[in-house]
Amino acid sequence: MRSLLSIVSILVMLPSIALAVTTKVGTAKIDITPSHPTLLAGYGGRPGEHVSVDMKLWARALVIGNDTPVLLIAVDNCGVPAKLTKVIQRALSDSLGLSPEQVVISSTHTHNAPSLEGYAPVVWGSRVTPEQQIRSSRYTQWFIEKVIAVAKQAFEHRKEATLHWGQGRVHFGGNRRVLSNGQWTGFGLNPGGPVDHSMPVMVARSNEGTPIAIWSNYACHCTSEGSRNHISGDWAGNANLEIERRFPSAVALTTVGCGADVGPQPSGSFEIAKQHGTTLANEVARLIDSPLTKLKGEPQPSNRQFNLPLAKPQNRAVFVEHSKGTGFHADQARFVLEYEKEHGAIQTDVPYTVTCWKFDQDLAIVFMAGEVVVDYAVRLKTHLDWERLWINGWSNDVPSYIPSRRILNEGGYEPGFSQVYYGLPAPYDPAIEDLIFNEVIGLVGAEFNNPDPDRPAPDFLRQPSAMGQFLKNIESWYAKLNPKLKKGLKPIAYLSKNSHSGFSQLKSVNPARDHWFHYSGLQDQRPFIRQTDKQQTIKWKTSAVSGNSKEIRFVFAGGLGWITQPKTEGFKVLINGQPKLNIDVTLDTTSWESDDTQVKLDYLVTWNSDIDSAGLFYLTVPTALLDNNGQLEIEVRSLGSESLRWFSIDELPQVTKVERAIAEQIRNQ
Q: What is the band of 465 on the pLDDT scale with cuts at 50, 70, 90?
A: low
**Domain boundaries, given as residue ranges, for the chain:** 17-305+350-448, 314-347, 467-667
Helix (H, G, I), strand (E, B) or coil at 93: helix
Q: How far apart are CA 219 and CA 238, in angstroms?
A: 16
Taking residues 131-158, what's their average pLDDT? 98
Task: Tell me the percentage of the chain whose pLDDT exceeds 70.
Answer: 90
Is residue 145 scored above 90 in pLDDT?
yes
Taking residues 66-89, what's their average pLDDT? 97
Strands (E), 295-425: 299-309, 349-359, 363-368, 371-372, 389-392, 401-402
More confident residue, 380 or 454: 380
Is residue 488 scored above 70 in pLDDT?
no
What pTM was computed for the model?
0.79
Helix or strand run (H / E) with residue 59: strand 58-64
Taking residues 428-437, what's their average pLDDT? 98
Is residue 469 scored above 70 in pLDDT?
no
- Using CA atoms, how far residue 91 sits from 140, 389, 563, 624, in Å, is 15, 30, 55, 82
Select from 74, 110, 115 the least CA-distant residue to 234: 110
Is residue 466 scored above 70 in pLDDT?
no
Q: How far apart are CA 397 and CA 537, in angstroms?
A: 52
More confident residue, 255 or 488: 255
Is residue 199 scored above 90 in pLDDT?
yes
* pLDDT 10s digits, 593-638: 999 999 999 898 888 888 899 988 999 999 999 999 999 999 999 9
Give the model's pLDDT for residue 6.
41
Give the model's pLDDT for residue 12.
40
CB–CB of 202/164 below 8 Å? yes
Q: What is the band of 480 on the pLDDT scale with cuts at 50, 70, 90?
A: low
Taking residues 357-379, what's their average pLDDT? 97
- Using CA atoms, how far residue 44 sits from 134, 221, 329, in Å, is 20, 16, 12
Is residue 95 scored above 70 in pLDDT?
yes
CB–CB of 539/633 below 8 Å? yes
What DSSP state is assigned to residue 401? E
- Summary mean pLDDT of the chain: 91
Is residue 138 scored above 70 in pLDDT?
yes
Select from 454, 358, 460, 503 the least CA-distant residue to 65: 358
Q: How far apart are CA 433 and CA 28, in angstroms?
A: 36
Angle at 82 between CA 439 and CA 129, to 5 degrees: 145
Give the model's pLDDT for residue 468.
66
Helix (H, G, I), strand (E, B) or coil at 402: strand
Q: Is 405 left (phi over 0), alpha (psi -120 to 50) or beta?
A: alpha
Helix (H, G, I), strand (E, B) or coil at 480: helix
Give the model's pLDDT for residue 19.
40
Residues 6+ apart with CB under 8 A from 491: none
Q: CATH code for 467-667?
A: 2.60.120
**Pick from 20-24, 445-449, 585-589: least confident:** 20-24
Taking residues 34-53, what's their average pLDDT? 95
Q: What one-character-per-residue DSSP string does 290-302 give?
A: S--EEP-S-EEEE
Taking residues 117-137, what's their average pLDDT? 96
Is residue 10 scored above 60 in pLDDT?
no
State which of 6-15, 55-64, 185-194, 291-300 shows the largest mean pLDDT.
55-64
Q: How far apart are CA 241 and CA 203, in angstroms?
A: 16
Q: Is the peptide bond before 266 cis (omega within 30 degrees of 0)?
A: yes
Give the model's pLDDT for residue 18.
38
Q: For residue 27, give the amino acid letter.
A: T
Give the model's pLDDT for residue 490.
59
Taking residues 133-144, what's their average pLDDT? 98
Main-chain phi, psi angles of 159, to 5 degrees = -150, 165
Q: What is the band of 310 on the pLDDT scale with cuts at 50, 70, 90?
A: very high
Select from 52, 234, 45, 186 the least CA-distant residue to 123: 45
* pLDDT 10s digits, 537-592: 999 999 999 877 889 989 999 999 999 999 999 999 999 999 999 999 999 889 99
Is residue 405 scored above 80 in pLDDT?
yes
**Pick from 62-76, 204-218, 507-521: least confident:** 507-521
